Amino acid sequence: MVKICCIGAGYVGGPTMAVIAFKCPNIEVVVVDISVPRIDAWNSDHLPIYEPGLDDVVKKCRGKNLFFSTDVEKHVCEADIVFVSVNTPTKTQGLGAGKAADLTYWESAARMIADVSKSDKIVVEKSTVPVKTAEAIEKILMHNSKGINFQILSNPEFLAEGTAIEDLFKPDRVLIGGRETPEGAKAVEALKNVYAHWVPVEQIICTNLWSAELSKLAANAFLAQRISSVNAMSALCEATGADVTQVSYAVGKDTRIGPKFLNASVGFGGSCFQKDILNLVYICECNGLPEVANYWKQVIKINDYQKNRFVNRVVSSMFNTVSGKKIAVLGFAFKKDTGDTRETPAIDVCKGLLGDKAKIDIYDPQVSKDQIQRDLTMKKFDWDHPMHLQPSSPTSMNKVNVVLDAYEAAKDAHGICILTEWDEFKALDYKKIYGNMQKPAFLFDGRNVIDADKMREIGFIVYAIGKPLDQ
Ligand code: NAD
């Protein structure tokens, strides 16, 4: 029986390994992590992450060929293939601070693999890493290997949170990069055989290591760029009377462009887009390509601009001040169908409103009060001036309430901000909500999920991203 061990039981390691175990009953999969609470949660009825379909897959395999453990060294030692899916955040200190990927978790995982291994292994980069990371990993492994052979593969993950299980079951492609040597080719073949249990072979792309590593950064940069492009267009729509939904539809009908990922919004979030673009910017700068670096940096600048623009619109619409006014924030996760709040635009929007002395009541179906409190009191790193290390001041929480439903959040509020596109926000009884709000009642749709005209009929003053403005 082939044995797989995955280091890192997070948003990627957990679901990815659960699907491998589900699709490959002849493979034993152990997911290991240094976090005891995380592993305890994976072994309980309350999994540490919310993902549609995940519970079912885990329940079907756990205890059969899928295991979660904190005994990292034992399971790494026993494995034939070791996936490394640890976090690779942006460095906050030292050389490259504010842009470069922090590879300390990766390096310590690699040193541990070299240390405990007693047999040859395939080591798979599952985390998103800078191009050429495999070279560094090879050095660490080879210099500490005691004669054991390690083959490094790059197998970046393209799943999107909220649709992770669907994406893993039916991936657009699986990408495997390896060394162009006979041993490298053998390792690629071994990993290909794992995915071939359910992925059509023509969808498994094999490349050299550097192409695979760079493709992941490029894919995220292209996706984020599409969002910033349509968001930049949304500002122009508001200035001219065009409607961004109509523009996106017309543009997306061109088969060369396509309709996906063209929704204007308050901005992108999530743990990956910003960090991966910053990483790309750093790599470009290190390779003497400042113009290319500046091009990609603009994607993040537009995203920040969009979040600020939203806050400014809320404040200016409400007679230039929200001081002492209650604002209901519907949605805090960075997108629907996840409880993940990493880099969610809601953090910046809430902080912006609090900066103008608003009182805010927040409701999100999947994000806990503790998480929201942590996010809003966390100091924000200043990416533009990393060497100055001037974090913005943490939020005082006495103006923030986290409540259990949208109606409670909106009661007596002066305005509502929809910041996550949860389906349930489309089905709310807005007549009832309007009846319980201060007047005039404002509705700011940061995701374009509600029918603005119907809301106007009810009596709301509506602002929707990239749409003609109410007079
Ligand atoms: P995460 O923070 O949810 O999980 C990482 C886990 O690794 C944590 O539980 C941490 O405790 C564990 N860990 C760190 N060092 C360890 C060590 N030495 N030994 C054992 N465990 C260790 O991160 P994530 O969202 O799963 O992302 C992991 C990687 O995948 C990142 O590089 C990310 O960029 C990439 N990625 C993420 C997504 C996504 O949607 N979240 C999608 C594709 C790729």
d(CA 181, ligand 1 centre) in Å: 29
The token pair at 441 is: 């009642």
Specify the pTM. 0.95
> What is the structure's pLDDT at 389?
47
272 counts as catalytic: yes
Average pLDDT over residues 312-336: 97
Q: How far is CA 81 from CA 28, 29, 435, in A?
A: 11, 10, 60
Radius of gyration (C-alpha) of the chain in whole angstroms: 24
pLDDT tens-digit series, residues 53-88: 999 999 999 999 999 999 999 999 999 999 999 999
Weakest mean pLDDT among 18-27, 142-151, 424-433: 142-151
298 pLDDT more than 60:
yes
CA of 33 from ligand 1 middle (Å) equals 10
CA end-to-end span of the chain, whole Å? 69
Q: What is the DSSP string of 205-262?
A: EEEEHHHHHHHHHHHHHHHHHHHHHHHHHHHHHHHHT--HHHHHHHHHTSTTT-STT-
Cα 427 to averaged position of ligand 1 atoms, centre (Å):
34
How far is it, in rounded angstroms, from Cα 176 to Cα 427? 42
Contact 269, 279 (CB under 8 A): no
Distance CA 178, CA 188 (A): 6
The helix (H) or strand (E) run that includes residue 15 is helix 13-23
CA-nearest residue for atom 20, ligand 1, is: 33
- Residue with the smallest CA separation from ligand 1 atom 18 is 109
**pLDDT grade, residue 386 (50/70/90)?**
low
pLDDT band at 204 (very low <50, low <70, confident <90, very high): very high
Ligand 1 pocket, residues with Cβ under 6 angstroms: 7-13, 32-35, 38, 72, 85-88, 105, 108-109, 127-128, 157, 159, 161, 271-272
Confidence of residue 294 (pLDDT cuts 50, 70, 90): very high
What average pLDDT does the structure give for the chain?
Answer: 95
pLDDT of residue 382: 64
Residue with token string 């749409």: 467
| Confidence label for 468 from pLDDT (cuts 50, 70 and 90) | confident
For the segment 435-444, the average pLDDT, to the nearest whole number, is 98
Q: Are 368 and 403 in contact (CB under 8 A)?
A: no
3 state SS of 383 = coil
Measured CA to CA, the distance from residue 123 to residue 113 in angstroms comes to 9
Exposure class string for 280-297: b at 16+ Cβ within 10 A, else e: bbbbbbeeeeeeebeebb
Domains of the chain: 3-199 (3.40.50.720), 242-464 (3.40.50.720)
φ/ψ of residue 437, rounded to 5:
-100, 165
Residue 42 and residue 62: Cα distance in Å, rounded?
Answer: 9
- Tell me how far apart the alpha carbons of residues 452 and 458 are, in angstroms, rounded to a whole number: 10
Q: What is the ipTM for the molecules in this complex?
A: 0.99
Which residues touch 202 (CB under 8 Å, ≥6 apart)? none
Average pLDDT over residues 21-29: 98
Question: Does 166 score more than 80 pLDDT?
Answer: yes
Binding-site residue positions for NAD(+)? 8-13, 33, 38, 86-90, 127-128, 161, 272-275, 342
